[in-house]
Structure 1
């Protein structure tokens, strides 16, 4: 039988009528409907030369084997009949070699690659699939509209060593994650975060005083204020700016995480999926990354245990005023799972303050030094609305549209994590004619979206006016892309929103930010962004 013996995409066999569509088999090229039909027919003829059903035991065994192979073949061609999204090609199993996987300012590379490959960029590393989304439309379609199957997190053996899987934002999509998420929502939902505003106000005012007198670097001071707010709000602990204390631990942990092949860098966690990698010696290629995960594990544990132990001491002394203490007072002492959830709620909150909040405030200082006319305009609005010398409060926010516009532009101009954290797919996805397999790590290139010249004129420039409307209204903060997408959107965004806005407003009211000698913006950011 030849392809010419079968017309169209249909054929009859044993009284049954079959329809088979054209398929595309990787490494084989396009397989026409006729050829696909012939392949199936030849397989049937090979395994069932005497017809179907067989009468002998041997024939029955052959039948089972043959039908299994045919089913696998049909599943294969139906699953892979669509191509992967376009992207750079690598080698078998290894995928893209290290030399071709962007590791420094990678969001810029993927944005540039988007001009060649389009909105979707696909590649593999050690058998792991990666997908970068360069447009807001594709991101909404895949991460928002299909959130049920695109909200997982990658989980490898090295994640058990580093303990990062305990951080709520890195939990796999599971009942454990849902339980932790509910606790966050209960405490950090929009109508609940006002309870933290007195703490935010006091700590930010102290921060302004430290700018005038402290010998610490600006980076350390900003890191300290973001951590001090969370330590007091969650644990009821007052900490100093001493680098040997807890405030810098979360930031240092995050730095080690980035260096250990973090999931914020597409492809650079691929080695974690090599079988038995946790048992490989330190001299093995990438052995230093395995060692880094062990260090990260100790730092992650310390970051959770130290403030937790301090709270336990306060509780033992009769002080139940902290949020953690109040949560524990409502929890059965024998419910160890719930207590564990509360403990890591605190650790996750500190980790969040170490990235988005700190980086956004740092970005504000950089923008004001590079765009002094924006600083002057913001100060002019504060003086006009509040009068010279009065510090702004949360109640003043609706009356300060230009300050609000500065906040919105800070969040757009340089997102803390320009490509967010990877979402993993729980099922195969078909999108725009492309096949995205189950287990793909999906990254939203937030940078590409917030620097889309078709939406934002002169996107590399800091222009708050782009957010001002004639009606005076602003989009809901859920429209701020830096907070993420789908069911993995930052649950602490309302508290972060308050902290960042107040830091901007009070700083403009109290100090003059001088210019920086280096006007190359990217020089002030790490290879994984942040500050």
Structure 2
């Protein structure tokens, strides 16, 4: 403790020597609460960056925050300096709602490394191929769902992606949309949505509130979400173990079993088995929270974009017809040849990124960046949307134009891939990104090969023109993504009985 004054004096000296990043003047007590954008925060932060620069300092009560508004400062702070910026701010609400074992929200440390390593071993570029057959089957099943219920596109996408993830994690085939398993998925996502959309709870700024009585509304909410998270992990794992005993297993590999096998390595140690099971159960929560809403959002946005840009859809249809042909559905063997389809996915991730601001990072130590002092414990927020809508990098950024990623019929290596921003940075880059991109590919290719997407119509059959606008939230999507889904006449036969090569 005798070194504390020296450390504090050193911090003050560094702060005075280098100025803090610019930003609006904070008010007493509340800080910059009134300066925070209320709707589509990424647009408001973009406007603040135009005034103050690509590093904006804001203060929420007692918490320092720096908004990063350009790829240069984002990559400098969150990627090249990730040893100092890869932490997550630990708040009282995280353990109270059952996310203390979620490695995506953990503080950087050995436990985080162990969980993340176990996850990455199952979803790295080589390992992810073992899930291709299952992803293909689920994509073909989605095509059938879209044919039977063309007006229920959003619901079908949500249930299909949730079912795919459950099957990946545990090997359960949740066919019925009322299946108890799918309900567990959406229940556990509910609380995470609230936490990430709101940016936290008042208790996170005033920790003493965590001692509020259990009957206080926010305490009841947190307790309910914690129960939902525990039910998801415990009930599905119990079902998994029960099916192991009866040999009622899916033909496809499942992550939980693979993780336990790799961590125990055939050992009969009860302690090692318990530790492996704990890690396997915990990372399933990361998978559903990170993969369900985001993948659904991107798929829905792609089909919405096709309805708005028929010339783009026509080019995609032409490419699919040439590569895949009329007698089968697309497969992963077609992936490298479907270049325009790849460009459509990239353009969707740029046009309406599913996580416009990403997850916040937190500095572990004081730092100096571009002449500005960044104190330890500062929350860092990258404005991904603003970077992907920078007209200096992407000409006419509000227009959906996949050709911006192509050159001479191939992907342009000089065009900035939106995935460099959309999947996170440094040591916190999304470890499931290869699985997610594979799911996007096979679902988009299969649906576009069979269906035509057009604008919705009113009661008189007239097209309804929908303006593309994103909804506010941690995971965003088109505010109104209605479209008409109809089978392409020459492809309807594939829905009844697709043949694979």
Mapping of residues 186-265 of structure 1, within 5 Å: 186-214=121-149, 217-243=152-178, 245-260=180-195, 262=196
Deviation string 1:347-370 (CA, Å, 9 cap, x unpaired) is 221222212211111111111111
Q: Tell me if the contact between 2:203 and 2:210 (Cα under 8 Å) persists in the aligned partners.
A: no
In the other structure, the counterpart of 2:225 is: 296
Between 336-345 and 172-181, the greater mean CA deviation after superposition: 336-345
In the other structure, the counterpart of 2:242 is: 313
Q: Identify which of 324, 340, 365 aligns with 2:278.
A: 340
- Asked if 1:443 is matched to 2:381, the reply is yes
Q: Calculate the TM-score normalised by the size of structure 1.
A: 0.80
- Asked if 1:521 is matched to 2:457, the reply is no
In the other structure, the counterpart of 2:490 is: none
- Equivalent-residue separation in structure 2 for 1:86 and 1:140 (angstroms): 19
Q: Tell me if the contact between 1:253 and 1:300 (Cα under 8 Å) persists in the aligned partners.
A: yes
Q: Tell me if the contact between 1:389 and 1:509 (Cα under 8 Å) persists in the aligned partners.
A: no
Q: Tell me if the contact between 2:104 and 2:286 (Cα under 8 Å) persists in the aligned partners.
A: yes
- Equivalent-residue separation in structure 2 for 1:461 and 1:471 (angstroms): 20
Cα deviation for residue 471 of structure 1 reads: 7.0
Cα deviation for residue 462 of structure 1 reads: 0.7
- Equivalent-residue separation in structure 2 for 1:169 and 1:334 (angstroms): 25
What are structure 2's unaligned runs of at least 5 residues?
457-463, 478-501
Deviation string 1:134-191 (CA, Å, 9 cap, x unpaired) is 1001011000000101111111222110112322211110101100111112110001
Deviation string 1:383-441 (CA, Å, 9 cap, x unpaired) is 12232343111111111211111111111111111000001111111111111111111
**Which SS does the other structure have where 2:410 is aligned?**
coil
Q: Which has the larger radius of gyration?
A: 1
**Which SS does the other structure have where 2:225 is aligned?**
helix
Cα deviation for residue 299 of structure 1 reads: 2.0
- Equivalent-residue separation in structure 1 for 2:218 and 2:66 (angstroms): 23
Q: Tell me if the contact between 1:315 and 1:325 (Cα under 8 Å) persists in the aligned partners.
A: no
**Which SS does the other structure have where 2:364 is aligned?**
coil
In the other structure, the counterpart of 2:13 is: 77
Q: Calculate the TM-score normalised by the size of structure 2.
A: 0.85
Q: Identify which of 317, 324, 335 aligns with 1:397.
A: 335
Cα deviation for residue 279 of structure 1 reads: 1.6
Between 324-333 and 120-129, the greater mean CA deviation after superposition: 324-333
- Equivalent-residue separation in structure 2 for 1:142 and 1:204 (angstroms): 38
In the other structure, the counterpart of 1:53 is: none
Mapping of residues 53-452 of structure 1, within 5 Å: 73=9, 75-97=11-33, 99-214=34-149, 217-243=152-178, 245-260=180-195, 262=196, 268-269=200-201, 271-281=203-213, 288-319=217-248, 322-329=254-261, 331=264, 332-335=269-272, 336-452=274-390
Deviation string 1:223-255 (CA, Å, 9 cap, x unpaired) is 111111111122010103424633254345434
* Structure with bigger RCO (C-alpha 8 Å, 6+ apart): 2
Q: Tell me if the contact between 1:93 and 1:127 (Cα under 8 Å) persists in the aligned partners.
A: yes
What are structure 1's unaligned runs of at least 5 residues?
1-64
Between 84-93 and 274-283, the greater mean CA deviation after superposition: 274-283
**Which SS does the other structure have where 1:498 is aligned?**
helix
Q: Tell me if the contact between 1:426 and 1:438 (Cα under 8 Å) persists in the aligned partners.
A: yes
Cα gap change, 1:215 to 1:387, in 2 (>3 Å)? closer
> What is the root-mean-square deviation of aligned Cα atoms in Å?
2.6
- Equivalent-residue separation in structure 2 for 1:113 and 1:479 (angstroms): 25
Deviation string 1:47-94 (CA, Å, 9 cap, x unpaired) is xxxxxxxxxxxxxxxxxx9x9968854552234432221122222343
Matched positions, count: 459
In the other structure, the counterpart of 2:459 is: none
Cα deviation for residue 376 of structure 1 reads: 1.2
- Equivalent-residue separation in structure 1 for 2:4 and 2:89 (angstroms): 31
- Equivalent-residue separation in structure 2 for 1:275 and 1:306 (angstroms): 32
Cα gap change, 1:188 to 1:306, in 2 (>3 Å)? same
